[in-house]
Amino acid sequence: MENFLNLMYFFGDAPAGDDLVGITFWIGTMAMMAASAFFFLSLNSVDSKWRSSILVSGLITFIAAVHYMYMRDAHAAGDSTTVFRYVDWILTVPLMCVEFYLILKGAGATKGHLKTLVLASTVMLVCGYVGEAGLGNAALWGLASGLAYFYIVYLIKFGELAKLAASAGGAVQSAHNTLCLFVIIGWAIYPIGYMIGTGSGMWYEFMTGLVAAENMDFIYNVGDSINKIGFGLVVYNLAVSK
């Protein structure tokens, strides 16, 4: 009983049943923590060449879980989660880009590819934060962030990294293509949340008709859980298949 109470204290009080955002923070925290434990415990069950990829997967979800606990408390107190959210992303999104390099390293991916991906993802996030935090024109900074995002898409879907994946073939190419889908489809959730949160974009009124602006964190929470855990599971599947 004491251990159960300690666990409840660690994860915090459960949100009210009608608090949709609070519920997704709660579920996201536990899901990310469980995923981290799974990835870390799986390290010794895969070939050594894939352990760095699995380790990075665990780090991504662990960092997210820690930040989700802070964001959950901020939401419960009625405070903004924007700063916590972007601190999380500035750490985890570049790590997600690192996964492309790690799985294609054997096919010829270089540190130059890695630096380009990390730099582009950093630019995307910094520009997004400036716009969403109200430090600059939301539309212009959102456009800059979007351009960096599309550059990442180009690199992994049509550029040199796509060619390296094709040359590797087999499970590596399949994993690369699946990760590309996460970036193209899964990451597209974030611009929706950005436009709702900043009140910018030609589709703002349509989207706020579907999701209220105060539920913006719901969009982000769903996207984070799908993308971060999904990324790791794709890499894990590659590691065990090889």
pLDDT reported for residue 207? 58
SS3 187: coil
What residues have CB less than 8 Å from 99, skipping those under 6 apart?
53, 56, 57, 179, 231, 235
pLDDT reported for residue 4? 38
Q: How many whole angstroms separate alpha carbon 46 and alpha carbon 107?
A: 19
Per-residue pLDDT tens over the stretch 2-27 = 443 344 445 555 565 568 888 999 99
For the chain, the straight-line distance linking the first and the last C-alpha, in angstroms and rounded, comes to 43
Residues 41-69 have a mean pLDDT of 96
Structure tokens at 56: 């990075």
Average pLDDT for the chain:
88
User: Are 41 and 54 within 8 A, CB to CB?
Assistant: no
Per-residue pLDDT tens over the stretch 104-141 = 999 999 999 999 999 999 999 999 999 988 899 988 99
Per-residue pLDDT tens over the stretch 192-226 = 778 777 766 555 565 556 566 566 788 889 889 99
pLDDT reported for residue 193? 78
Per-residue pLDDT tens over the stretch 95-108 = 999 999 999 999 99
What residues have CB less than 8 Å from 241, skipping those under 6 apart?
171
Per-residue pLDDT tens over the stretch 154-168 = 999 999 999 999 999
**pLDDT class of 1 with cuts at 50, 70, 90:** very low
Structure tokens at 15: 């949100």
Q: Nearest 10 degrees: CA dihedral of 52, 118, 66, 183?
A: -90
Alpha carbon of 104 to those of 48, 166, 168, 177, 204: distances in Å?
Answer: 15, 10, 8, 12, 38
Structure tokens at 46: 């895969």
Structural domains in the chain, sorted by start: 18-241 (1.20.1070.10)
SS3 13: coil
Residues 53-62 have a mean pLDDT of 98
Q: What is the pTM of this model?
A: 0.89
